[in-house]
Amino acid sequence: MGFPRRIVLIAALLGSAVSGLTACSSFPFWSAGKEEDADIKDEHADWGPAQFYAEAKHAMMDGSYEKAIKLYEKLEARYPFGEYATQAQIDVAFCYYKNNEPESAIASVDRFIKLNPTEPHVDYAYYLRGLINYNRGIGFIDRWLPTDSSQRDPGSARDAYNDFETLLNKFPNSVYREDAKQRAIALRNNLAMYDIHAADYYMRRRAYVAAIRRSAEVVQKYQRTQAIPHALKIMEDAYRQLDMPQMADDIARVYALNYAEGRLSKDEDYERTVMEEVWDFVGFDK
């Protein structure tokens, strides 16, 4: 019994189509794109490392960070050894930082430190790492209006604080030491105040035990910061809410001995924030 004529016809047409596709695969059309790419001239083909570096540096100084990144990366790829490649590794990290690409910037810094642990200016890499984390999450409003940075996510602040502390410990004579020290003090104050905000949140939710624990951590971890009197006041209030007058009175005595006027002593590492200055000027606490 033979196949119906219609089925035989369809099979013949399908066979022809498959044969046609196979034949087309050998036509120049399929490789035209690759041949065209191969004909594209590399405008940097004749550049040496000095020219790459000079052009990348010029782009960086002009604020053309994307262009600078491409040139620095080409420089290192083509000439991976020598002074220009080493400098390109840290310069590209700076360009990523200025181009608002913190993850790539951190990765570049870490790579530089790993490859050049004894480089004479490796302290700059640690300082740059701190700056990258210090400025993470700071938007347009934060840069131009007085905002309370202690209420932002503390993750990057902790990273930045650790970066600056590493710089201070590893390179006590670094030219970046003084700036790193001041930033570390500000970060430590912000981290302490972040915990105060958390403790205050617990108080408003009547989670008094949690508020005491968070405040006690502040007292233990952040001595010599503006957060300490706030922590003591929260602890005193929480103990009174828990009907523990003896503990509350003890805390009150500590507060009175150290912060009788509601201010830190003159030897505290305390730098008032812009938000605190505005707060006092407006008179919200009065």
| Model confidence pLDDT, tens digit, residues 166-181 | 999 999 999 999 999 9
Q: What is the pLDDT of residue 41?
A: 54
pLDDT at 28 exceeding the cut of 70: no
Token pair in block for residue 38: 């191969």
The average pLDDT across 123-148 equals: 72
Q: What is the pLDDT of residue 260?
A: 72
Q: How confident is the model at residue 17 (pLDDT cuts 50, 70, 90)?
A: very low
Region 19-41: mean pLDDT is 43
pLDDT at 137 (0 to 100): 61
Percent of the chain with pLDDT over 70: 70
Q: Which has more confidence, 284 or 244?
A: 244
* Residue at token pair 């971890």: 221
Rounded to the nearest integer, the mean pLDDT of the chain is 79
pLDDT of residue 39: 41
Q: What is the pLDDT of residue 270?
A: 45
For range 241-262, the mean pLDDT: 89
What local confidence, expressed as pLDDT, does residue 21 receive? 41
128 and 90 Cβ atoms separated by less than 8 Å: yes
Question: How far apart are alpha carbons 105 and 98 in whole angstroms?
Answer: 9
Comparing 12-21, 74-83, 185-194, 197-206, which segment has the lowest mean pLDDT?
12-21
Distance, in Å, from the CA atom of 126 to the CA atom of 130, rounded to the nearest integer, reads 6
Q: Helix, strand, or coil here: 173?
A: coil
Closest CA to 99 of 126, 130, 59, 127: 59
pTM for this predicted structure? 0.69
pLDDT score at 79: 93
